[in-house]
Chains A and B, each alone.
Chain A
Amino acid sequence: MARIGLWGRIGIIILVLFALLIVGRLLFPLPEMPHIELAAEGVFSIFGFPITNTMLAAWLTILVLGGISYAATRKMKIVPKGLQNIVEALLGMLINFVEDTAGKDYGRKFFPVIATIFIFVIANAWLALLPGFMFIGIGEEHVPLLRGANTDINFPLALALISFVFVEYWGLRSQGFFRYVRKFFNVGGLLRGIGQLFRGKIRGGLSAILTGVIEAFAGFIEIISELVRIVSLTIRLFGNMTAGELLILMMLFLIPWVAVIPFYGLELFIGFVQALIFGALTLVFLVMAVTPREEHE
């Protein structure tokens, strides 16, 4: 067989893809463009409370994770074997990651929340890649029965709120109310400056007021940045996962065969990365909240 050059190989690949496109189109014709809905769709409702397909997916994830956990820790042995070994090793990696970042004491306290965030997000993302998600529809409108929970903005938002509350709680708890709140309402310098002005020290008072205003403004920015975290965490996860889902949907629509497989691989990777980012960011925010201000400035 004659050697084929780089361009030759690329040409062959393109040709094969093209052939697949045509054959796939002929074998599995799609009647219409997939219906794209950003909001989660209600599958049914209980007493007027709508149950959406993403809620069902989240519950499925909980069932799967609970089942695996139960199976792995049912009969624990000091010398691990099989599933226990795998789960222990993975969890051990997570524990090390958290404790390396937050230190031994805080690591122990932060671990359950960080780990639950990470595991929930990655399990949602990976389970959503299973066949059955998105493609089993019910009802006349063919509403998908299951849809990855990460692609429902309520789920990332819920996680972001939990992350936010947890961070603020630990900030208050470790530094005390006044020390922690001073970060946001830093008006001490301003008041001192006004006091000096009243005592007749015009020059010193004015410069103190100037730095006081800057400090107060910095505190205001601190509040904004703390709140923006909720939005950024939510939108990052929601955007990435929804884009991945739509990408796979569109690829399946365009080329119904093998061509979509690399995108599944990509989505596996992105699911891991997004889970890691969400967990790691929450962890970093926590560490920043419990570290006294004088130290990290």
Chain B
Amino acid sequence: MEGIGIAWQGLIAQLVSFAILFGLLTFLLYKPVRRILDERSNRIKESMDQAEQIKVRMAETEERVREQVEAARREGQNIVAQAGQMGERVKEEARLEARREAESIMARSRIEIDRERDEAIEELRRQFVDLAITAAEKVISETLDKEKHRRLIDEVLEEGPKGRG
């Protein structure tokens, strides 16, 4: 043991040295470094959590925007549909108006026609009376009292259809 130098003094001294270094490094090195490493990993975790939250919030916002766009699109479609319906109604009204117009025009035309026909019949009868008188004069060859005759014929014509029918 002497030869390689084992000695209790040396052993004790080196044990004490180790203890001193152990304490020194624990307080000057291990604890501070451990603390800073833990703190850093905590920070990193926090910022990753934050990033996660931001991502979630962004997704929510996106969803909301999408919903709003969707709502706007639906509204637009509604408006277009309403406009279409309104146009349809206007068209319908115009058609009805036109038909009424046409009907009234037709009614007026019919009245006119009736009136003209009545006039033509009247005219025709007058001419027929004259013609009949002329013909009668020629047949009888006698100058008759024109006024008297006319009255006579008118009477006949008035009663004619009744007397015969």
Contact = CB atoms under 8 A, between A and B. Distances in A.
Interface in A115-160: 115-116, 119-120, 149, 152-155, 157-159
A54 interface: yes
A50 interface: yes
Contacts of A62: 17, 20-21, 24
A70 B10 contact: no
Interface stretch (A1-9, A86-94, A188-196, A266-274): A86-94
Interface in B1-58: 2-7, 9-11, 13-15, 17-18, 20-22, 24-26, 28-30, 32-37, 39-40, 43
Interface residues of B, number: 32
Contact of B32 (A49, A73, A238): A73
A58 B22 CA distance: 13
Contact of B40 (A65, A78, A157): A78
A152 B14 contact: yes
Nearest to B43: A78
B139 to A, nearest CB: 146
- With a 10 A CB-CB cut-off, give which of A80, A87, A153, A159 has the most chain B CB atoms: A153
A65 B13 contact: no
A10 to B, nearest CB: 39
Nearest to B19: A162
A153 B21 contact: no
Contacts of A120: 18, 21
A59 B2 contact: no
A54 B10 contact: yes
B42 to A, nearest CB: 10
Contacts of B18: 116, 120, 158-159, 162
A52 B10 contact: yes
Interface residues of A, number: 45
Interface string A31-63: 000000011100000000111101100110110
B6 A154 contact: yes
A112 B24 CA distance: 11
Nearest to B32: A73
Given A39-B3, A78-B39, A88-B36, A55 B14 contact: yes
Nearest to B5: A39
Interface string A182-200: 0000000000000000000
A157 B13 CA distance: 12
A112 B32 CA distance: 13
A170 B163 CA distance: 153
Contact of A154 (B13, B26, B32, B33): B13
Given A38-B4, A87-B29, 17 more contacts: A38-B5, A39-B2, A54-B14, A58-B13, A62-B17, A73-B29, A91-B30, A91-B33, A92-B37, A95-B37, A112-B22, A120-B21, A153-B4, A155-B10, A157-B6, A158-B14, A158-B18
20 contacts: A38-B5, A40-B7, A50-B7, A52-B13, A55-B10, A66-B28, A69-B28, A73-B28, A73-B33, A78-B36, A92-B33, A112-B30, A116-B22, A116-B25, A119-B21, A149-B14, A149-B17, A154-B5, A154-B14, A158-B18
